[in-house]
Every structure is written in C-alpha cells, then in structure tokens.
A = this chain, B = another copy of it.
Amino acid sequence: MAQGFLCRRDTRWSEGRKKDLGWLYSKVPAAAAGVYTTNQFQAAPTKLTKQTVNLDHQLQAVVMNSANANSCTGPQGLVNAKTMQHLAAKKLGLTDQLVGVASTGIIGEPLPMDKITNGISQLSLTKSAAVTEAVLTTDKHPKSISVQFEFNNEPVIVTGFAKGSGMIHPKMATMLGFVTTDAKIDGVALQQLLNQQVDETFNQITVDGDTSTNDMVLVLANGMAQTSPVTADPAGYALFAAAFHQVLSFLAKSIAKDGEGATKLVEADVLHAYNHDEAQMVAKAIVGSNLVKAAIFGEDPNWGRLMGAIGQTKAHLDTNHVDVWLNDQPVVKDSQAYLIDPQVVASHLHENQVNVKVDLHNGKALGQAWGCDLTYQYVKINASYHN
C-alpha cells in the first residue's frame, strides 16, 4: 500500500443517506495531476479543483461528497465549492491550495452548506484508514486496485479507487477516479502520463454516451518511496507507467462493468484498423450502440447490430472484408454470416463478460473500448432518479 495516504468515507451529512462525505489525505504534499469532464457545463467543484491543480500541480488532500453535484448552481456554486475547500483545509491544517474538491449527485440544487460544514467538522485523521482498506466504494464490484513494483530495490505502490455509476451515490452517472502513489515524480510529468493514458482507458469506456458535468480523475504522488525520481531512469519510468496503466485500465473497466443496471461487461477489440484513432472509434461505437447493448443483455446472437454500429462510423472500411468474433466464436466472415447455429452463438453470450473482436483487414492499428449492456434496470434507475 502506498505510504502516507489515508482516507475515509463514513461521515453522514444528508439525512437518510450514508457515507456521503469522504476525504483523501497525504502525510506530505503530493505532486498532483487531473483530467476533467469535457462537458461545457463543468461543475463548480470540478472547475475549482482544475484551477487548484493547475496552480502548481500540488495537492495534499481531496474532500468529496455525494448526493449533490454542485453543478449548474451559478456563482453561489463556486462560492460553496471554495467554502468546502477552505473548511477541509482548515480542519486538516493545510492551505486551501493543497485541497481538491469533488462532488457528485443531483444537478442544479444548492449545496446544503450547513450539512457540509457539519460533516467536515467531524473529519478526523485518527479515524482514518489506509486507502486500500477504507476503499470509498461499497458496491458489489470491486473498484479498487493496488499495483506494486520494485525500483532502486524499494517497493513503489500505485493504488486507485473509483466511483462510477451505481456506487458512492447509486443512480448517478458521474465518474470519479482517484489514484495515489508513493512514487517520486514531478507534477508536470505526472500530468503528461495521465493525459496519455486516459485516452486509452477512461476515455474508452461508455455507459450511456452521456458525459457528466462532474467527471474527474485525480492523481496524487507523494514521493514517500525511498527512491530516486522515477523519471530519472527510463527503466523506472517504464515500470511506473506500466503500473499506472494497470491501475487506470482496471478502474475504467470496473466502471464500465458496474454501469447503471448493467449485468455484463462488454469489451470491444478492433484489429487491423487504418489508424489508431479509427480503431478506437470503432471500438467505442460498438460498446456505445444501444442496439448492441440491448442485444447483449438479451443474449441475442444478432450480430447485424454489430455491423450496424461498425458501419455507422467514419472509419476506413473494406465493407466486404470485416470479420467478427463473439467471445472467440466466429460469427461474421467477410462481412457475411459465418454459418453457425444461433444457439451456439447465444451460448457464448451467456457470460458476464462479452468480448467482441473485429478484424477490419485494413491496416495495422489496434483499438479497445469497454461498456456494458442496456437493461430494464438502467431505464428504471434513470426514469426515477429525481422523484
């Protein structure tokens, strides 16, 4: 477990809801990097945290709440986010600039500051737990991971945890990811690595194609491992990058798997695409298609849905030479049915993980994306979120 990190999530601030205030703390200031929603209505806490990280790429703590997104809340929303930041900083004995803020929940309602204030006042480092032990999530699927590697004969740990749809606050589509590590790395290098890797991981998952106003991934590296900086040594950097990728990839897949109402993780692998962007585009089109998602939920061997999704993209296709596999069972060869009993195909869908492999025979690039099936439960959750 990464040294020097503590966190907890058990303070109540909203009536009838548990574990809706959480915090993450490093014993020393940590290099920080973040990626934030591309939604133009960026929520106040997301804006504030982005500003704070961009100041000098340092954070020592993050305070977070669920049940209220503090989004579309106007100038007062930003004031409230700053107050939340300030209260947490004061309680932890830090400057405001060392504290990030994350919120998730209903959009458009003012943050109930009396409850937030009360919640933060109960925050106690002596009641904390280590990150991997007091994981923020309480869901059926694990969304935390810890990866260790050796560098300069010392163990270095990268730990991640995430809140996806159906977690901290069930029924919310907001994705929050937190990665902590005791690796020694400066904030700018960390930001660069995050930007690169997020494109292959978090940006390649979809639950319903909707981007929340509060999505955020934050990374804190406190450098407490007794090593030289990982960037000082190509081998060290490669080890760190690999561990970091393993963490981001695991979290991204976990979020997809635990999409609202989901019963199956869907993974799309695209082979031999014209270029990498197109490979990623086709993979994401597959996991993003409602028709594909509903068919997979129903374990319906209707591969025409897959062809529909692939053909909708602008990727270069040789439309007569596309092959498709469902969990390694060939179903399409040269863009036509690979003759097989539909019941056999259906049997391959009867698993909680469905892999769709597509060979475009049109280049050398690979792409991957992850999503989930579309279920009655998804509709139910989202038809009655507010009421």
How many chain-A residues does the 8 Å CB contact rule pick out? 64
User: Would you call B384 and A212 a contact (CB within 8 A)?
Assistant: no
Q: Which residues of B contact A374 (CB under 8 A)?
A: 379, 382
Query: Within 8 Å of chain B (Cβ to Cβ): is A290?
Result: yes
Report chain B residues within 8 Å CB of A250. none
A346 in the interface, Cβ–Cβ < 8 Å? Answer: yes
Q: How many chain copies? A: 2
Contact residues of A: prevailing secondary structure: loop
A386 contacts the other chain (CB 8 A): yes
Is A74's beta carbon under 8 Å from chain B?
Answer: yes
Across the interface, which residues of B come within 8 angstroms of A290, CB to CB?
208-210, 290, 378, 382
Q: Which residues of B sit under 8 angstroms from A41, Cβ to Cβ?
A: 307-308, 310-311, 317, 319, 335
A18 interface residue per 8 A CB criterion: no
- A334 is an interface residue with CB less than 8 A from chain B: yes
Indicate which residue in B42, B304, B375 contacts A69 across the interface (CB closer than 8 Å).
B304
CB of B307 within 8 A of CB of A108, answer yes
Among B209, B307, B375, the residue within 8 A (CB) of A107 is B307
Q: Which residues of B contact A208 (CB under 8 A)?
A: 290-291
Interface residues of A in 285-333 (CB under 8 A from B): 289-291, 294-295, 297-298, 300-305, 307-313, 317, 319-320, 332
Interface residue from B39, B304, B378, B385 paired with A302 (Cβ < 8 Å): B385
Q: Does the CB pair B379–A346 fall under 8 Å?
A: no
A387 interface residue per 8 A CB criterion: yes
Query: Is A179 an interface residue, CB under 8 A from the partner?
Result: no
Chain B residue at smallest Cβ distance from A291: B210
Chain B residues near A379 (CB-CB < 8 A):
294, 297, 374-376, 378-379
Q: A74-B334, A210-B309, A291-B173 are in contact. Are A387 and B304 (CB under 8 A)?
A: no
A188 contacts B by Cβ under 8 Å: no
Taking the complex as formed, is A40 at the interface, i.e. its CB lies under 8 A from any CB of chain B? yes
Instruction: Give which listed residue, B39, B311, B332, contacts A312 with CB less than 8 A.
Output: B39
The answer, among B300, B308, B320, B383, for a CB contact under 8 Å with A294, is: B383
CB < 8 Å neighbour of A307 from B72, B298, B313, B334 = B72
Given the known inter-chain contacts A294-B378, A383-B295, please indicate yes or no for A213 contacting B307, CB distance below 8 A: yes
- Once the chains bind, are A304 and B346 in contact (CB under 8 Å)? no
**Chain B contacts for A317, CB-based, 8 A:** 40-41
List chain B residues, Cβ under 8 A from A137: none
Q: Once the chains are docked, how many angstroms separate the CA of A312 from the CA of B38?
A: 7
Cβ of A109 within 8 Å of any chain B Cβ, yes or no, is yes
CB-based nearest B residue for A106? B304
- Determine the chain B residues whose CB is within 8 A of the CB of A69 once the complex forms: 304
- Separation of A375 and B71 alpha carbons in the complex (Å): 27
A–B complex contacts, Cβ < 8 Å, 23 sampled: A39-B308, A41-B317, A41-B319, A72-B332, A74-B334, A74-B336, A107-B302, A107-B305, A108-B307, A108-B332, A208-B290, A209-B290, A210-B289, A211-B308, A213-B307, A294-B379, A297-B379, A298-B383, A300-B382, A300-B386, A300-B387, A301-B386, A375-B379
8 shortest A-B CB distances, which residue pairs? A107-B304, A298-B383, A294-B382, A41-B311, A302-B386, A40-B311, A208-B290, A39-B311
Q: Which residues of A contact B (CB under 8 A)?
A: 38-42, 69, 71-74, 106-109, 173, 208-213, 289-291, 294-295, 297-298, 300-305, 307-313, 317, 319-320, 332, 334-337, 342, 346, 374-376, 378-387
